[in-house]
């Protein structure tokens, strides 16, 4: 996410950010999310901004689950990702995850 922000905020494309670029980027982001135009963000307005920044991560997570790349996640694709994780977390091998499985 930081790389995404840095790329978007780097107005002159020189690979570094100045204070002016950071302030201009911040102002533009707040302005675009500030539906009421009052210069402040409500939780609803902030949610719009937050979701825009998180979308790339969400898309990456979706694609990781969508093994066949058909744009849909089916139960088998979810199981294929989650089952190995659950097996790793079940350290005592009892078929369940409990406080006893926590690392010490």
Write the pLDDT tens digit of every residue in 79-101.
999 999 889 999 988 988 999 88
The more confidently predicted of residues 2 and 52 is 52
Start-to-end CA distance of the chain, whole Å, equals: 31
Structure tokens at 68: 């066949």
How remote is the C-alpha of 15 from its chain's centroid? 23
Print the domain residue range for 44: 2-91
13 assigned to some structural domain: yes
How far apart are alpha carbons 49 and 54 in whole angstroms? 9
Query: For the range 56-63, what are the long-range contacts, defined as Cβ-Cβ under 8 Å and sequence gap of 24 or more?
Result: 56/1, 56/4, 57/1
How far apart are alpha carbons 34 and 46 in whole angstroms? 8
Q: How many domains does the chain have?
A: 1
The per-residue pLDDT of the chain, averaged, comes to 92
100 assigned to some structural domain: no
The more confidently predicted of residues 3 and 48 is 48
Q: Render pLDDT for 17-54 as a digit per residue (tens, 0 to 9).
A: 999 999 999 999 999 999 999 999 999 999 999 998 89
Instruction: Read off the pTM.
Output: 0.61
């Amino acid at each position: 996410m930081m790389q995404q922000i840095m790329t978007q905020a780097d107005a002159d494309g020189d690979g570094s950010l100045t204070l002016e670029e950071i302030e201009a980027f911040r102002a533009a982001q707040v302005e675009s999310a500030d539906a009421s135009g009052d210069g402040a963000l409500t939780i609803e307005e902030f949610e719009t901004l937050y979701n825009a920044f998180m979308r790339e991560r969400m898309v990456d997570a979706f694609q990781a689950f969508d093994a066949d790349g058909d744009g849909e996640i089916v139960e088998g694709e979810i199981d294929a990702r989650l089952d190995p994780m659950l097996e790793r977390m079940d350290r005592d091998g009892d078929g369940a995850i409990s406080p006893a499985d926590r690392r010490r």
